[in-house]
Each structure stands twice: as structure tokens, then as C-alpha cells.
Structure 1
Amino acid sequence: MKYSIDTLIKLYGTGFNLPSRAQWQSLVEGDQDAPLTVVNFFKLRTGADNKLIEESMSGHEAFSKYAETSVPKVAEVGGHFVLRGAVEADFIGDNLEQWDIIAIGQYPRRENFLQLLMDEDYHAAFKYRQAAVETQHVYFISAM
């Protein structure tokens, strides 16, 4: 399946806490048959952003609502989580306050990740992720 950068931008946007156009392009133009590991670092808001969702809830509650949909959807497209969890302690460095949750997902092919992004239920739940997250870093990792 051919994926459109413009469609992804229309669905998800660009800018703060979202991919830039160049990052969307890198995702779409990468080898669709290559395995993909996605490493996510999340810092949650105390209270979810009420401009993005109508319900009043904490950042943790909004992120949990997002996970209720995203976790099974990752499996539905053929992916799985290697790790999902709260940051407990730092060992090297002193950035314990920086991240609340780290999640590592693996997909047999890059296209599986794009299938997730095109899923209507996943897209509907994504607003809870954005409402929950103060800042996030997401990395694509190639196996060594």
C-alpha cells in the first residue's frame, strides 16, 4: 500500500509533540519491508489538556485511555510491545524527572506501523495521547 505524507499530516498534524513533515516523509519513504522498532519516551501532564479532549482527567488517566485502544491495535497490525512501563529510577545520569513512561514496540515491517496510524480507532484514541503528554520523544531503531 502506498502511504501519503499529506494524508498522515491531515490526520495527525505536524509541530510540537508531532512529527515534522520531514519526519513523516522519512517514515513513508523508508523500506516498508524492513522490521521497525519504535522507542517512546513520555512525560505526562498533571492534568490532561482539555483543549484536546472534553473530559476532565489526569494525564495518567488520559494516557491509560489511549493505551486501552493502542495496545490491542498494535497487536492487531502484527506488532507487539517489548516493554511498556513507568520509569522507576535513574542509574546513570540524573534525569529521573524527565520521563514518566517508556514504551518499546516492534513491528515485523515498517508498513505494519503505518497500518496502525491509518486505523480509524487508533486515530480516534490518539487525541488522548496528545492530551496526556507534556513532551515526548519517539525514535525509530534499526537492529544491529
Structure 2
Amino acid sequence: MTEFEFISYTEPTQRAGMRFMQRGIEGNIVMLNLLRFRKVADYTAHPELAPEVPISGAEAFNRYIEHTLPFLHESGGEVMFLGDGGEFLIGPEKERWDFIMMIRQSSAESFLAFSNHQEYMTGIGHRTAAIEDSRLLPITELPTSK
């Protein structure tokens, strides 16, 4: 890949989903989200959710969060952290992330149940419209020694 090529990651691949389940994660799981927003949200794939006037990717993502929170809480999940991103202090100089989000779920199974919830899925188009690129890293807590 040359420095001019851009690969966007907005959805998990089937292989990544399979590897996630094969990890056999037990107990709490934290999902670290790194998000880069589109300047203008693209509702092409979900015109039924498109606002009357164009909005930014950040605004579309806020609509996604508002829609999602009840389903997240219902599944036992919680928002641990929301924050503005930027450029890395250590990392690729040309890589930046607009928004960082950490979500805790009680288990991998509850995360999957949440992400496949029918009513939750009706608002996923706001996320699709908002995101130019993303990373999602499932994190598990290490046991601490006493």
C-alpha cells in the first residue's frame, strides 16, 4: 500500500467476528472505539434517516448515540468514556481520530445481543452516515496482584 492509498474500516469482517468469538472472553469486556467522521454525513445507504439539510458526520454520530443509549443500557452496557481525539503523540503522523469512545459490556454475549438488537439496528444508519473510518478493539481486564 502506498502512502496515498486509503483503506476504510467501518464494519467488522466475518473473519474478525469469528476470531472475536474464538477468544472465549469471559466477564466484562471494554470496546475501545477510534472514530474519524466525514465532514458531511452521507445518508446514501439510509435515506429514510437523512435530515432535511446536510449535517456533519459528528452531528450524525450524536444522533446515533442518542438512539443507541437505551439499547446499550438495556443490554447491561455502559459508556465509560467519550472524548475528542486528535493526532497521535506516538504513532503514525498522518493518522488522526476525531472521537474516542469506550463502552463496557458485561460479556461478549451481551455485546453481540446488543449489536444485533432489531430496534437498535433501525438507527445504525446514523453511524454509517457519520463514519469515514474506525477501529474497534475489544479489551479485557488483566487480573491484578494483591
**Aligned counterpart in structure 2 of residue 25 of structure 1, from 11, 18, 26:** 18
Give the superposed CA RMSD.
Answer: 2.3
Cα deviation code 1:9-32 (max 9, x no counterpart): xxxxxx942111111212344436
Aligned to 1:98: 96
SS in structure 2 opposite 1:87?
strand
Answer with 1 or 2: which has the greater Rg.
2
TM normalised by structure 2 equals 0.77
1:61-140 map, 5 Å: 61-87=59-85, 91-92=89-90, 95=93, 98-140=96-138
Aligned to 1:46: 39
Task: Identify if the C-alpha distance between structure 1 residues 53 and 137 changes in structure 2 by more than 3 Å, giving closer, same or farther.
Answer: same
TM normalised by structure 1 equals 0.78
Q: When you count helix as a share of all residues, which structure comes out higher?
A: 1
Stretches of structure 1 lacking an aligned partner (at least 5 in a row): 1-14
Task: Identify if the C-alpha distance between structure 1 residues 35 and 46 changes in structure 2 by more than 3 Å, giving closer, same or farther.
Answer: same
**Identity of paired residues, percent?**
25
Aligned to 2:141: 143
Stretches of structure 2 lacking an aligned partner (at least 5 in a row): 1-7
Aligned residue-pair number: 130
List structure 1 runs of 4+ shifted beyond 4 angstroms: 88-97
Amino acid at match of 1:78: G
Contact kept, 8 Å, 1:87 with 1:102, in 2: the verdict is: yes
Task: Identify if the C-alpha distance between structure 1 residues 104 and 20 changes in structure 2 by more than 3 Å, giving closer, same or farther.
Answer: same
